[in-house]
Amino acid sequence: MCLDKTELMMLGVGVVLATSGLVAPQWLVFLLTMALAKSLVVQGVVMQMRAGLVTFGQGLYFCIGGYAVGMSGHFLTISDLPTLLLIGVASAVALAMILGLLMTRYREIFFAMLSLAFSMILYGMLVKSPGLGSTDGFNVIAWTLFGWSPATGQAPLALFVIIIAVSAVLAVLLHRYGHSSAGAMCEAIRENEVRVEYLGQSPRWVLYMNYVAAAGVSALGGGFMALAAGHIDPEMAYWITSGEFVFIALLGGTSHVAAPILAAILFAVVRTYAIELVPHSWQMILGITLLAIIVFLPKGLWSLLSGQARRAKAVEAKA
């Protein structure tokens, strides 16, 4: 299995980023780790957007990934990082396999609203669970890696390197998936579902696989977030959190697998400064930016970088 240009580039950038972590200040490493965790969730959102579905409830799987990690540590005293993440992904996939049967019957607004509903169901359940800390949530225990326990102060950097590695590998896989027959079929469904049926395909089956896979990917992000932040709470399943993931997805665009990563980092950086400088106007900035993206850059920021926006304007001018 040889890697193409894009994949090699992403792995390369991953290596550079990881090594830069050695010299970067603590707060930046922390910020980037959280941003990368979020970017994993956004990858799940983007996977569904490519199939034409906007989910307002990806927080469901984000939260499951996080709570699986937290609960396994708290109640089962598991601290092995890979195991924790695996439990998170497996739980999300299991739930998605059930919910997916219902969700894949819907499109457009109904899909968006139903996904929102399910994430809010989880939110409601968690808030009313005193055993899980209700609205406060609870803390996540320190992680280990195959028995190795990072020294105090080393953990954040170690997690940073791990999440970069995982994100890079996932990016390569998602790149493959995006260019595969199944990935193309997702786009075809977005474009013209009836025609896809007439090509001898089952749109429901393709969307189902996509939905389940996206759930697993987002749960990975939730798991990492729990480990990085050291804390989980029901807010992870609140619909506004899901809205944030949609925002980042739109910010980056769906055309390249690295876009969610860049968008998530940009989002994290801007948000940090905005919350400090104008804490009560942060939402307004988000809203205005979202409108601006929709009106001026419907393909997201990535279209700026790849010159697509310029080329699109040129085609429009000619026509």
Partner 1 sequence: MNYILETRALYKEFGAVSAAKDVNVSISKGEVVGVIGSNGAGKTTFINMVTGYLKPSRGEILFNGQSIIGRTPRAITRAGMARSFQVAQLFPELTVLDNLLIALAGAESPFPSLLRPLRNEGRIARADTILGEFSILSWRDSKVTAVPQGVRKLIDIAMALIGDPQMLLLDEPTSGVSAEEKTQLMDTVMQVVSRHQVTVLFVEHDMDVVRRYVSRILAFYSGEVLADGPPQSVLDNARVQELVTGGQRAHKGAKA
Partner 2 sequence: MLSVYAVLIDGAIYASWLFLVAAGLTVIYGVMRILNMAHGSFYAIGAYAAASLVGWYFNNGVGPVWVGYLMMLGSALAAGLAVGLLIERGLLRFMYGRDEVLMVIITYALLLILEDAMKMVWGVNPYFAYQPYAAMGRSVLAGLKVSNYDLMLVGVSLVIGFALWLWLERTHQGKVLRAVIHDREVAQAMGVNVRRVFTLVFVLGTVLGTLAGALTAPAISVAPGIGVEIIVLAFAVVVIGGMGSIEGAALGALLVGLSRAAAVHYAPQFELFVIYGVMALVLAVRPQGLFGRVLARKI
Q: Is 52 in the site for partner 1 (CB under 8 A)?
A: no
CA angle 48, 53, 57 (to 5 degrees): 80
Q: Is 117 in the site for partner 2 (CB under 8 A)?
A: yes
Binders in 115-174 for partner 1, by CB under 8 A: 173
37 and 225 Cβ atoms separated by less than 8 Å: yes
Q: Is 200 in the site for partner 1 (CB under 8 A)?
A: yes
121 and 140 Cβ atoms separated by less than 8 Å: no
From partner 2, partner 1, none, which one binds at residue 209 (CB under 5 to 8 Å depending on kind)? partner 1
215 and 92 Cβ atoms separated by less than 8 Å: yes
What is the rounded distance in angstroms from the CA atom of residue 157 to the CA atom of residue 163? 10
Q: Is 197 in the site for partner 1 (CB under 8 A)?
A: yes
The torsion angles phi and psi of 54, rounded to 5 degrees, stand at: -100, 120
What is the rounded distance in angstroms from the CA atom of residue 205 to the CA atom of residue 11? 32
Cα 60 to chain centroid, rounded: 12
Taking the complex as a whole, how short is the minimal distance between the CB of residue 164 and partner 1, in angstroms? 23
Q: Which is nearer to partner 1, 317 or 319 (CB)?
A: 319
Q: Which is nearer to partner 1, 139 or 255 (CB)?
A: 255
Stretch that binds partner 1, among 61-69, 121-129, 181-189, 243-251 (CB under 8 A): 181-189
Q: Is 234 in the site for partner 1 (CB under 8 A)?
A: no
6 and 214 Cβ atoms separated by less than 8 Å: no
Taking the complex as a whole, how short is the minimal distance between the CB of residue 101 and partner 1, in angstroms? 18
Q: Is 98 in the site for partner 2 (CB under 8 A)?
A: no
Taking the complex as a whole, how short is the minimal distance between the CB of residue 239 and partner 1, in angstroms? 29
Stretch that binds partner 1, among 14-22, 162-170, 175-183, 262-270 (CB under 8 A): 175-183
Query: How far apart, in Å, are the Cα atoms of 193 and each of 52, 182, 213?
Result: 10, 14, 20
Q: Identify which of 240, 216, 40, 238 has the alpha carbon closest to the alpha carbon of residue 127.
A: 238
Q: Which is nearer to partner 1, 153 or 200 (CB)?
A: 200
Query: How far apart, in Å, are the Cα atoms of 38 and each of 246, 247, 312?
Result: 11, 12, 30
Q: Is 287 in the site for partner 2 (CB under 8 A)?
A: yes
Q: Which residues bind partner 2 (CB under 8 A)?
A: 54, 56, 102, 105-106, 108-110, 112-114, 116-118, 120-121, 123-125, 127-129, 194, 239-240, 243, 246, 250, 280-284, 286-288, 290-291, 294
